[in-house]
Amino acid sequence: MEQIIIEKIESSAILGKCAPILVEAYNTEPWNDEWTYEKALEKLECFYRSPKFIGFSAYEGSEIKGACIGNIEPYYTGDYYYLKEMFVLPSAQKKGIGKKMMDALKQHLEQLEIRQIVLFTAKDYFPFNFYEKEQFRTMEGMNMMHFGAENG
Ligand SMILES: CC(C)(COP(=O)(O)OP(=O)(O)OC[C@H]1O[C@@H](n2cnc3c(N)ncnc32)[C@H](O)[C@@H]1OP(=O)(O)O)[C@@H](O)C(=O)NCCC(=O)NCCS
């Protein structure tokens, strides 16, 4: 396995390479989504345009294998980072890439004195344990709510 390099995302040009990874990562177990390249790219570009966007990509050699993206949002007790997406190519998962991206993100946020990261994930699927290992905890007393048809 080649060395994993984590790089801060500094240009939207990379999003076209991240979109197919998002598609592969979510169109398989446990999510079994039905992302298309176009919709994935639209979503990543939408996040990229958010104020105070911060993202990291992971390379193995010259090939991009994963990314994490989100943005800093204001809050009266202190601004927090909202982790919108984190994904690794299925064939590259369980090699420590997710952890390396999370380490880079946490280190960067520490330098910015951002002390909290929030995210949504399903409670019964694997990534929940990944985040728990990374010291994330369920926010007691909070519910994610939704209006409209379940399937869009
Ligand atoms: C979540 C995700 C980003 C983790 O990336 P990754 O590169 O596979 O994670 P790592 O290799 O750094 O693994 C970190 C830890 O999780 C464990 N792990 C990774 N994948 C696992 C799996 N499918 N089942 C059980 N444990 C797993 C690793 O063994 C490791 O544990 P350890 O530190 O005790 O050895 C990746 O699985 C993914 O892209 N999933 C699909 C998209 C997704 O669900 N994103 C999050 C949505 S909220």
Task: Provide the whole-model pTM.
Answer: 0.95
Domains of the chain: 4-133 (3.40.630.30)
What's residue 150's pLDDT? 78
In ligand 1, the atom with minimum distance to the C-alpha of 101 is 12
Ligand 1 center to residue 31 CA distance, Å? 14
Write the pLDDT tens digit of every residue in 109-131: 999 999 999 999 998 888 899 99
For residue 95, give the ligand 1 atom closest to its CA. Answer: 11
Region for 78 from its dihedrals, namely left if φ exceeds 0, alpha if ψ lies in -120 to 50, beta otherwise: left
Pocket of ligand 1 (CB under 6 A): 25-26, 86-88, 93-99, 121, 126-127, 130, 133
pLDDT surpassing 70 at residue 41: yes
Instruction: Provide the 3-class DSSP secondary structure of residue 4.
Output: strand
Residues 6+ apart with CB under 8 A from 43: 22, 85
Cα separation, 32 vs 2, whole angstroms: 29
Cβ atoms of 6 and 101 closer than 8 Å: yes
The pLDDT tens digits of the residues spanning 73-102 come to 999 999 999 999 999 999 999 999 999 999
